[in-house]
Structure 1
Amino acid sequence: MSGKVYCHNGSWYVNWWDKVHKKTRKIYHYKGEKIYSKKTAEKLLSVMQSDVENGTFYIEKYVSKGFSDVIPFIDDWFSNLSGLSPATEKGYRSYLKNHIKPFFKKHSQISLPDIQIDILRKFKKELHNKGLSPKMQSNIMFCLHTILDAAWIARRIPAIPPFPKKKEYGLTQQPIKWLPEDRQLAVLNQIPYDHQPIFYFLKYHLRRPAEALALHKEDFSDNVFTIHRSISARVLTDKTKTGEIHSIPCHPDFKPFIDIELDKQKRHRIISPFFFVNPSGRTPGKGYKAETLNRLWNKACKQVGENIRLYAGTKHSSCSQYINEYGLSESDLQVITDHSRLESVRNYAKTEVSKKLKLMSKNVRYLKQPKTKKGDL
């Protein structure tokens, strides 16, 4: 096995033949500290030989004090990413710039194999101290997990270290906020007539707002909407958030709104590839922007005294109505929404207190009360 330990002027070092660069390396530092004992030098040599056996040896990990291979690997990993949605790429870029890379620059002695549960918990604690939400902390840690997964595939680390458990983030499952249909319709009816079609599309077809924004005329044929586009970080993409293509039949109650949309485009002489257009829009094709939908929705909510986000007020509300007001089963809703897992629709089955009381009352048995003796309280 390559490598020997030597002493020079009271300092120990490992003498190592670098096969890649065809030269001898003298390594005087171990974990950022100068080596002053034979025992430490032998330990370093053992670690280097172990890396060779595991196929994870990387000479730059050892050649200079404080060198870390983490930042170079992250930069190389990110520059070679492909197939990400614009929103995911934007998120990764932010996590790396503001959190992950600053941490490893500050702790420059840490190399890829050094990243274990203790380092990960230290990083997580730093995220917590910044005041980041549990969800944001989880997202950043997931990004780091993806990086280490790539490092393992590249044989730069022997195994992916265990990460903090979900319960350590303090994540809690919040109940879905939704509107009963009468209150949902009250909001929708406050939206200006020409803008109503896209909102009723969201109500009746249970899709994401970004998918409605990206819908093209050519995506509607034989009374079926083919959902295969979306808007990600304000960029039109030819795939949905999950990458799946959905065939959604046109809801019968939505058909009048198709006529409203076509009449609007005819009146304003708008020729556009988009199914839904905003007559006052300034984007090519006059497609709606997410900001416009949110502004119209929030204004309508304010007019009827509601306070709920667009996504919750349309998709979440309609899904919850199917189960809690119309009595559909979770499996029925799964078919309608095209969710891949039944667990994904279970949150919509959270019933209100009044509905629970109604169901409970059906099974109440009125038992004859036992007679009390005279003098009993």
Structure 2
Amino acid sequence: MNLTELPDSGVRVGKYLQNRWRIIFTWKNKRHFIYKNWDGTKLNEHNAERLKVRITYDMTEHKDTFDPESYKHTVKNFDRLVLKWVKESTCGQDHKRTRERMCNNFFIPHFKKLDVPAIRKKEIEDFFKSLKEKGLAAKTVNNIMHELGGFFHWLERENLITKIPPFPKLEKVPKRKIDWYTREDHKQLYEFCTEPVFRFLRCSGARPNEARGLQKADIDWNKRCVSILHALPETGFKVKGTKTNSHRAVDFFDELEESLRAGMESSPKNCSFVFTKGGKPYTRRILQTSWMEMTKRAQGKYNNLPRLSLYEGTKHSRAMQMLNEEGRSLSDVQEALGHVDIQSTKHYAEMLPGRRADLLSNGVTQKSHKTNSSESQEKLVAVQGFEPRTLRI
């Protein structure tokens, strides 16, 4: 049927306020009013006439399946949808908890039950302005805005909005300087190490929460490798996936194997965790406290030894040593540390002026400088049903 030759089905367009239009029709003895497009925008005369033709056609040609409600805008509350976005997020558990805190502390109090298609450039700019007025650090503001942008990209993918509203330009924040221990620093510090978890952190490239969550089943003594599959959240002992939900395996070498065996020996037989203290898995706070106590003991002998955080003294230090003291490539460090995105690894290169140009131009493709073939040997191994590339670090 030609849309221009549709029979009169009783669908009418009417103006009820200045520049405000609506569609009126009756279906099965019930009157229906439509004031908005499906995306929540108000009808103008042109859009109302177009929608009238569509409704008339469907009423005539699809009587059995015609549903008046399908043309009515459904309110898509911000508070409900933003929490659904968090729930469906595939990021790591710690990141998901950060998103949830941002929702409860910033997003929901500002946008509340606002209809998401009604959030435009002005509403985004007002939110951005409110964050700056709270006196938050520029980096914190940027992080919050990036997460809000992620939410709107999700809305677009779910067809809940037709277009992402423009976001304001964010302030450029200088990258934080990385403090790290040299291999000589580590030698001095680890004279006072009595807990195997810190030796594992130094040589494995694992994150602290990955070391806390390491399971005895993650070690393959026959294939002589350990799989980094699990992590513990900031609170509680419910094992989750890693920060990036990635799986990686690390081949045994002397220090790594010794740290694992020492952890196994001190862990109770009925405990699934490799590294424990007092018969229980490490909490985040206990691990950090033990690290600072070890650092304090080392500084009693070596006055010039800096005091670094656990993350700086292990994962960051290992990455910087690989790049600065061992001549490794960015791809080596990316693989060893479990970075999904090479951009995360490039931050280390930017802290090394002497190698910066070389690393940033060739870091992804260049082969490592094989000063010691046993240290840089790469193998393909099969661990617990997957086959990642592994790198001796």
Report the TM-score, using the length of structure 2 for normalisation: 0.68
State the match for 1:100 in structure 2: 107
Contact conserved, 1:92 with 1:143, CA < 8 A, in 2? yes
* Correspondence list, 1:168-247, <5 A: 168-191=170-193, 193=194, 195=195, 197-221=196-220, 222-234=223-235, 235-247=237-249
What's the counterpart of residue 112 of structure 1?
116
Compared with structure 1, are the counterparts of its residues 118 and 23 closer, same or farther at alpha carbon in structure 2 (3 Å cutoff)? same
Q: Deviations over 1:264-320 (max 9, x none)?
A: 34xxx6532111121x25xxxx11112111001122223315221101110110111
Root mean square deviation of aligned Cα: 3.6
What does residue range 332-347 of structure 1 map to in structure 2 within 5 Å? 332-347=332-347
**Kept after mapping to 1: 8 A contact 2:86/2:99:** no
Amino acid at match of 1:59: H
Verify the 8 A CA contact 1:229 1:236 in the aligned structure 2: no
Taking the aligned partners of 2:119 and 2:51, their CA distance within structure 1 comes to 15
Q: What is aligned with 2:144?
A: 140
For 1:131 and 1:159, locate their aligned partners in 2 and report how far apart those are by CA, in whole Å.
31
Asked whether the 8 Å contact 2:246–2:338 carries over to 1, the reply is: no
SS in 2 for 1:243: coil
The CA deviation at 1:180 is 0.8
Query: Sequence identity, in percent?
Result: 23
- How many pairs does the alignment contain? 314
SS in structure 2 opposite 1:4? strand
Change (3 A) 1:47 1:254: same
- Counterpart AA for 1:104: F
The correspondence of residues 55-70 of structure 1 with structure 2, limited to 5 A, is: 58-59=72-73, 69-70=77-78
Question: In 1, Cα distance between the equivalents of 2:187 and 2:25?
Answer: 73
AA matched with 1:131: G
Residues 1:24 and 1:80: Cα distance change in structure 2 (over 3 Å) = farther
State the distance in 2 between where 1:204 and 1:320 align: 13
Distance 1:18 1:69, change over 3 A: farther
One-letter identity of the residue aligned with 1:225: V
Q: What residue number does 1:327 align with?
A: 327
CA distance in 1, matches of 2:281, 2:291: 17
Instruction: Describe the SS at the equivalent of 1:299.
Output: helix
Report the 3-state secondary structure (helix = DSSP H, G, I; strand = E; otherwise coil) of the residue aligned with 2:165: coil
Return the offset for 1:206: 0.7
- What secondary structure is seen at the aligned counterpart in 1 of 2:238? strand
Distance (whole Å) between structure 1 residues aligned to residue 179 and residue 337 of structure 2: 18
CA separation in 2, counterparts of 1:51 and 1:240?
A: 49
Structure 2 counterpart SS, 1:17: strand
CA distance in 2, matches of 1:216, 1:89: 23
TM-score after normalising by structure 1: 0.70
Query: Which blocks of at least 5 consecutive residues in structure 2 are unaligned?
Result: 1-10, 37-41, 55-69, 300-304, 356-393
The structure-2 alpha-carbon separation of the partners of 1:204 and 1:44, relative to structure 1 and needing over 3 Å to count, comes to same
TM superposition outliers: structure 1 runs of 4+ over 6 Å: 18-21, 47-53
Relative distance call for 1:247 and 1:73 in structure 2 (3 A) is closer
C-alpha contact (below 8 Å) 1:3/1:15 kept by paired residues: yes
Q: Structure 1, unaligned stretches of length 5 or more?
A: 29-41, 62-67, 357-377
C-alpha separation in 1, matches of 2:319 and 2:210: 17
1:181 CA drift (Å): 1.5
Shift of 1:203: 0.7
